[in-house]
Structure 1
Amino acid sequence: MGPYFFIFSIIISLALTLVNGDAGLIQKTCKTTKYYDLCVSSLKSDPTSANSDTKGLAMIMVGVGMANATATSTLLSSQLLTTKNDTIMRKVLKECSDKYAHAADALQASVQDFDSELYDYVYMHIMAAADYPNACHNAFRRYPRLVYPQQIARREMV
């Protein structure tokens, strides 16, 4: 989820200026991010983005992040079925699944805070959501024999 959270933080800060939507707003907004192509493709995947202001773009990115976190949590939960005999791996997969679910919850809370114009809380929830994947990595590091799942590593880079 790494690139998404970097993009969120930029778009959230830009959303505070509430620029009205225009044809080039997505490109202008994404030029300020480290992951331009990912930002543009993520925003354009939502048909409402063409007419959105920066607040709308921020909410689209939060939605993308929530979907990613939820899907990753579900994937990790499904891997529990294939590791019935490895109690340590099951424990770590469960912890990671929970962390990604918490990330989705934190992003959902940021939407509510954004609607209430509680921008300090928006930032706090987005930063919390960004940190939950780190907690998952740390869970795997506690057990040197465990290998971080490539499926999850790839999802984090998209």
Structure 2
Amino acid sequence: MSCNFHFLLILVFLISLHELPTISTTSSSIDLIQKTCKNTKYYDLCVSSLKSDSTSLKADTKGLATIMVKIGMVNATATNNFLSSHELVLNTTNNYTNNDLVLMKKLIKDCADKYALATNALQDSLQDLNNEVYDYAYMHVMAAADYPNVCHNGFKRNPRLDYPTQLAIREDGFKHICDVVLGILDALGW
């Protein structure tokens, strides 16, 4: 029985030695995430987004920027898909004329195109990050964040049509993600 007890103690000791670097790495990784996110406009969004990606625990600041860019790409692509489905037109509760509905469909298609362009701009920023050309990465993220403005302005030019609430929520979310990326890029000190 004493032999089993010693074996168990040694096993626990070896496991604890193996786990210490992981605990230390995780703790320092969380610290890097929190420190990096303090440089952004949306700290909570930054921290929760990065913590939701397991690769962030082993990432440096550049890696954290890459993760957030990818989250932005997923968001823009999802918005593009949402708009491409014409779900907004089907769910409209306003009493629009047929001409208004035709215009609404056109605006929604234009918005879908803008979100596709935003995805492309973020893809370009990923290449810039990989090449450590941070000023260009910053420029591409700023361009991506601006594409929803073009969409919103299309509705402003047509005051008969309400800017869909669901689209406004998605626009804000996407812009916040881009703002987080810009804050992380600032932390890179380019």
CA–CA distance in structure 2, aligned partners of residues 47 and 30 of structure 1: 16
Residue identity over aligned pairs, in percent, reads: 64
Q: Which runs of 4+ in 1 moved over 6 A?
A: none
Gaps of 5+ in 2: 1-27, 93-97, 174-190
Whole-Å separation in 2 of the counterparts to 1:107 and 1:23: 25
- Say whether 1:46 aligns with 2:61: no
Alpha-carbon deviation of 1:92?
0.3
Structure 1 range deviating more: 92-101 or 74-83: 74-83
Matched residue of 2:120: which SS?
A: helix
State how far apart, in whole Å, the 2-side matches of 1:44 and 1:23 are: 8
Q: Secondary structure at the match of 2:86?
A: helix
Aligned residue in 2 for 1:66: 73
Aligned partner (choices 142, 146, 168) of residue 153 of structure 1: 168
Shift of 1:107: 0.1
**Aligned with residue 111 of structure 1, among 109, 114, 126:** 126
Deviates more, 1:30-39 or 1:136-145: 30-39
Correspondence for 2:103: 88
Structure 1 distance, partners of 2:131, 2:142, is 18
TM-score norm. by structure 2 comes to 0.68
Alignment CA distance shift 1:23-1:38 (3 Å): closer
Is 1:33 the counterpart of 2:45 in the alignment? no
Once superposed, what is the RMSD of the aligned Cα atoms? 1.6
> How far apart in 1 are the matches of 2:77 and 2:110?
14
- Alignment-derived partner of residue 11 in structure 1: none
**Equivalent residues of 2:29, 2:56 under 8 A apart:** no
Q: Deviations over 1:65-112 (max 9, x none)?
A: 0000000011111126738x5210011001000001100000001111
Q: Distance in 2 between matches of 1:77 and 1:112?
A: 27
Deviation at 1:157, TM superposition (A): 3.2
Q: Can you give the 5+ residue segments of structure 1 that lack an aligned partner in the other structure?
A: 1-20
Structure possessing the higher radius of gyration over alpha carbons: 2
Please state how far the C-alpha of 1:42 moved relative to its aligned partner: 0.7
Greater helix content = 2
In 2, the alpha carbon distance for the partners of 1:34 and 1:144 equals 31
Give deviations 1:42-85, integer Å, cap 9, x for gaps: 111100111110000000000010000000011111126738x5
Match of 2:146 in 1: 131
